[in-house]
Amino acid sequence: MAIEVGTKLEGKVTGITHFGAFVDLSGGVTGLVHISEIADNYVKDVNDHLKLNDLVTVKVINVDKDGKIGLSIKQAVDKPVEQQTQSRPPRAPRPERSGGDRERFSGGGPSGGQGRSGGGGGFNRGDRGGRSFKPAAGKPSFEDKMSRFLKDSEERISSLKKNTEGKRGGRGAKRV
């Protein structure tokens, strides 16, 4: 009998480990039920759910090239239709952000105090719904900040390497 992914089979538990249980299928073929595939709820210890020589119904979830067979007990159980579609409660929509940070990003520069109405530089919602890509007058852009950061960090790393090589006897120096 060929074992194919998606088939449900009966098997006997032949071994229990901390990471799952080995199930003997027909013809001396053995597969592994991983601890995460034993039950729908959290399984701390496999021994709480399975015992040696238990007869279980399993579903084949994968067959590797090297012959390893992955099994699932929780997928072998037929769930009612309602439960399949609602395995998780629906998420509530995310709330809109309050305007707390907007003042920090909105204009208010040399053109006058525009407050929350937009204008100036950083936080223009326009028709795209996001931030504008124009840096505020006199402020460096993200790319400028990033290039400065990379330059500074490379300088720091090189100075650290110079200081530590001397202490470790770097560059192939022999220790006595």
What would the mean pLDDT of 134-161 be, rounded to a whole number? Answer: 85
* Mean pLDDT, the chain, integer: 77
Tell me the per-residue pLDDT of 13-56, one tens digit each, with 9 for 90 and over: 999 999 999 999 887 899 999 999 999 999 999 999 999 999 99
CATH of residue 39: 2.40.50.140
Residue 13 lies in a domain: yes
Residue 70 has pLDDT above 70, yes or no: yes
Give residue 26's pLDDT: 81
What would the mean pLDDT of 115-125 be, rounded to a whole number? Answer: 50
Give the pTM: 0.46
Q: How many domains does the chain have?
A: 1
Residue 72 lies in a domain: yes
Residue 47 lies in a domain: yes
Residue 176 lies in a domain: no
Residue 54 lies in a domain: yes
Question: Which of 89-98, 119-128, 132-141, 150-159 is the least confident region?
Answer: 119-128
Residue 43 lies in a domain: yes
What would the mean pLDDT of 65-71 be, rounded to a whole number? Answer: 91
Residue 104 lies in a domain: no
| Domain coverage including residue 50 | 8-77
Residue 92 lies in a domain: no
Q: What is the 3-state secondary structure (H, E, C) of 27-96?
A: HHCEEEEEHHHCCCCCCCCHHHCCCCCCEEEEEEEEECCCCCEEEECCCCCCCCHHHHHCCCCCCCCCCC
- Torsion angle, CA of 57/59/62/65, rounded to 10 degrees? 50
Residue 62 has pLDDT above 90, yes or no: yes
Q: 140 falls in which pLDDT band (50, 70, 90)?
A: confident
